Amino acid sequence: MRSDREMLIQAKLNAPLALVWEAWTQPEAIAVWWGPAGFTNTIHAMEPKAGGEWRLTMHAPDGKSFPNRSEFVEVLPFQRIVFMHYNPNYLATINFREDAQATQLEWSMEFETPEMFDTVVKVFKADEGLKQNIEKLQAFLTTKQTL
């Protein structure tokens, strides 16, 4: 965490950068790993380019559905993805760096206010969800490499 309204996670993913990038930018890939453990996704729109829309519905294990809408702010192939997520509002920045046959990932989520940050962590356990997201991403990448 770099501020009182930001979540930050860093991870070394055991996969080449090209595969990690594909996992983040291909709708059929991100649908598999996005979200906390037990969640599934329906991707309605995903245009990973500046100004592009990303709409999905996350389906919880208890059957509840959570519609999500984001807009891509910046997409630098194989380097960075920045998107604005709405309701709750936060700016997500994901930086990618190749590291031999692995990929270094830095993922931050900056919320509008410290109060909103506190709410998503205390009520929705977003910090734990972010960790689970990384775990699901690594599992997805491992599966893709063994096919």
Q: Per-residue pLDDT tens for 117-141?
A: 988 888 888 888 899 999 999 999 9
Domain 6-146 coded CATH 3.30.530.20: yes
Backbone angles phi, psi at 20, to 5 degrees: -65, -45
pTM, full prediction? 0.93
The enclosing H or E element of 125 equals none
Q: Per-residue pLDDT tens for 15-56?
A: 999 999 999 999 999 999 999 999 999 999 999 999 999 999
Backbone angles phi, psi at 12, to 5 degrees: -105, 115
Domain ranges of the chain: 6-146
Sheet with 102-111, strands from edge to edge, namely 6-13, 102-111, 90-99, 80-86, 65-76, 53-59, 40-46
Least Cα distance to 43 among 62, 19, 24 occurs for 24
Q: In Å, what is the CA distance from 5 to each residue of 1, 48, 76?
A: 8, 25, 25
Cβ atoms within 10 Å of 87's Cβ, excluding its own: 8
